Homo-oligomer: A and B are copies of this chain.
Amino acid sequence: MPQLAMLPVVILGVLIAAAAAASSRPHPLDPLSAAEITAVRAAVLASPLVPARPLHFHYVGLDEPDKPDVLAYAYGTTTSPSFWHVMPRRALVIARAGGQSHELRVEITTRNASSVASAAAAVSSHAIHRGAGFPAFTLEEQVAAEALAPAYPPFADSVRRRGVRMDDVVCSVLPAGWFGGAVGAGAGAGAGAGAAAGRVAKMQCFVAGDTANYYARPIEGVTLVVDLDRMTIVRYKDRVTYPVPKAEGTDYRAGKAGPPLRGPVPAPGVVVQPEGRGFQIDGHVVRWANWQFHVGFDTRAGAVISLASVHDADTGLWRRVLYRGFVSEVFVPYMDPAEEWYFRTFLDAGETDLGPWAYPLQPGADCPANAAYLDGYSADQDGNPVKARNMMCVFERYAGDVAWRHTESGLPDQLITEVRPDVSLVVRMVVSAGNYDYILDWEFKTSGIIKFSVSLTGLLEVKATPYTHTDEITADAHGTLVSENTLAIYHDHYVTYHLDLDIDGTNNSFVKNVITTRRNTGDPATGGATTPRRSYWTVQREVAETEADGQVGLDTAAGPADLLFVNPGKKTRIGNEVGYRLIPVGATAASVLADDDYPQRRASYTKKQVWVTPYNKSEKWAAGTYADQSTGDDGLAAWSGRNRGIRDEDIVLWYTVGLHHIPYQEDFPVMPTLTGGFELRPSNFFERNPILRARSATTHGHSANCSCDSATAR
């Protein structure tokens, strides 16, 4: 755990009681507005607590109110007339100044109750992070670091020796990882072999020239280490010279990749909605069919879904499913131990944030024509708000699929066919974290299912090599030769979700319905019967007591199991505990790195796909809050190691979508989408199929799907 030297909480501002209607205020989970970010900046810069300059803002985001307060707000269980007075609107700021990482809480007070265009704020607490690790890089310091290389004479020599024009060179900052030794603010110790002391990063430079796909053209063999606080190159090595791969065949831009394909092309399908969209977006609250939820935005996580509740048509009640969910970390370790590659073990959310890489979505391509778009706001390094336009989209998906159906031919003289088409609601964000693109979908279904999809596309991270044909390869190349002089290095992708499930209430239990083979004993007392059947399986129900029981590898020898989150205090009419279950849908890889390897210690949670922990507001980031050069002392595995009770508690599911990526030539120069994910599916949550009474397509006037075909059964 990071050691926070907590200073006394100082309330500098006076909270003004506002009499305005709730609708004129932001939802307590709304991300900070531009005005709020501006006010937070002013408050931090005006605070005497952090006098050092320059002061760089590494994180500015909502410090969400305490969960009971938010639940009271959202579900109306408070009776306090002064409710608004005690609901703070607060920001968390992580800043670097004076060589230290500062954590500040800033209270925001809205001056003008009828508008959020103007806000005031005041720092209420300050702490210096004295443990391992650093906050995420700012965009500005990455740009500044990348500008150092061309002006650095030894690098200019390296570029010249390779016959490359410096104008064509593009550099990219890469987190250095941690490989032993103490690292931290003021610690001054070495970051293990091959890394310099302090807040350092490495850089990889490339040749763009005739291609936009500069990742395909690395200047291999060069190690550049930059001190980000001093913004200077602190170590340089040109170890080996390999040919720079050719530009030809690497570009992916329309018109730059050759003429379009010959032969017939598919006719595009366009999704239209003659009755208009079926959803409403009110501020950050989305209402659609039997769902409502809040879509927030966080610089580190990107999209944040909160307070997802589903309407139970049989009871008329809104029922809670998910308090808060977001992508907590993206771990991408590469598998080449070479000097220029061994450290590439990225923690994309913690080291560089996901939000800044969520670029404007392209209407009609990233999202279909019927999509709506949402913006987001982050703070830049100077603390000023930056708008991320169209960084999320929301759309109704109709893929030609079926929500449920049955054809009945067993009744005399009739053939019954009932079909309900499957229309769902998707919230999408695309994160282009350097070379890779992750399409992250949250799909809500009327059946109560939430489906999570991670689609991988974008560009490979490749290594230059002298090889031009596989026949030349005699030793382990650590990758696939995808083009001449181009090795696509083996790697993994682990996208870890933080999902604070609140199944029909706050207190839940984690249940494993283990499928267990039984011999048929012939004894009814043990479930058997005097029949010739020799075996069957049954369900052994195991309720997790502590966090150790909540760690589940999907491939363990314990046997297949349904993994459920149930509310032990709520039962269906016939006595089943209400619940949701987790269903993996591909991409179930877990890490195979050695437990004592440094990157594995930093992301040790990737050894198991499922972790369940008790809710703790501070436990958000699976690889720890200060992930850059982290040492593994903070994060999911450390918290879970306390082995707290998780039965009938407010619990959180952490699920990792994992892929071992052996590249193939098709992935070059840009990779066709590869999708994996999981779904959360109501399992004895409803009394029966919740869309049994869904309207058939006929009532919408575009085609038949009811029992209109009464022809005699064949």
Contacts and interface: CB of A to CB of B under 8 A. Distances in A.
Contacts of A82: none
Nearest to A480: B576
A526 interface: yes
A131 B27 CA distance: 73
A338 B704 CA distance: 42
Contacts of A269: 271-273, 370, 396-398, 423
Interface residues of A, number: 214
A616 interface: no
Contacts of A316: 262
Each complex incorporates copies of this chain amounting to 2
Interface string A661-696: 010111111111111100001111111111111111
A531 B339 contact: yes
Nearest to A540: B476
12 contacts: A212-B408, A263-B311, A265-B695, A270-B702, A343-B533, A395-B400, A404-B458, A476-B527, A559-B592, A585-B586, A666-B686, A668-B689
A589 B673 CA distance: 25
A670 B694 contact: no
A115 interface: no
Given A270-B398, A365-B420, A404 B264 contact: no
A404 B439 CA distance: 10
Given A366-B705, A673-B401, A192 B592 contact: no
A703 B449 CA distance: 31
A337, A360, A369 interface centre (most CB from chain B within 10 Å): A337
Interface string A317-350: 0000000000000000001111100110000000
A576 B273 contact: no
A175 interface: no
B264 A289 contact: yes
Nearest to A559: B592
Contact of A666 (B253, B448, B481, B592): B448
Nearest to A264: B289
A407 B419 contact: no
Given A194-B531, A259-B693, A269-B271, A406 B252 contact: yes
B180 A405 contact: no
A697 B365 contact: yes
A572 interface: yes
Contacts of A665: 572, 574, 576, 684, 686-688
Contacts of A401: 439, 455, 673
A619 to B, nearest CB: 28
Interface string A412-439: 0001111111111110001010110101
B481 A574 contact: yes
A448 B261 CA distance: 14
Contacts of A272: 269-270, 272
Contact of A598 (B426, B534, B690): B534
Contacts of A534: 594, 596-598
A520 B345 CA distance: 15
Query: Which 7 A-B pairs rank lowest in CB-CB distance, beginning with the nearest?
Result: A364-B703, A365-B705, A269-B398, A476-B527, A470-B575, A267-B278, A399-B399
Given A365-B703, A405-B430, A481-B576, A688 B249 contact: yes
A532 B268 contact: no
Interface in A640-677: 660, 662, 664-676
A529 B660 CA distance: 22
A517 B265 contact: no
Interface string A556-588: 000110100000000110111000010111100
Contacts of A458: 404-406
Interface in A461-485: 468-471, 475-476, 478, 480-484
A575 B364 contact: no
Q: Which residue of A253, A468, A666, A694 has the most chain B CB atoms within 10 A of its CB atom? A: A666
Interface stretch (A33-41, A47-55, A155-163, A706-714): A706-714
A604 interface: no
A367 interface: yes
Contacts of A692: 252, 257-258, 669-670
Contacts of A484: 574
A515 interface: yes
Given A337-B533, A535-B597, A703-B364, A402 B688 contact: no
A410 interface: yes
A81 interface: no
A528 interface: yes
Contacts of A67: none
Nearest to A363: B703
A304 interface: no
Given A267-B278, A476-B518, A665-B688, 8 more contacts: A179-B532, A267-B423, A268-B700, A269-B271, A343-B533, A422-B673, A669-B688, A670-B692
A539 interface: yes
A467 B396 CA distance: 41
A513 to B, nearest CB: 6
A336 B536 contact: yes
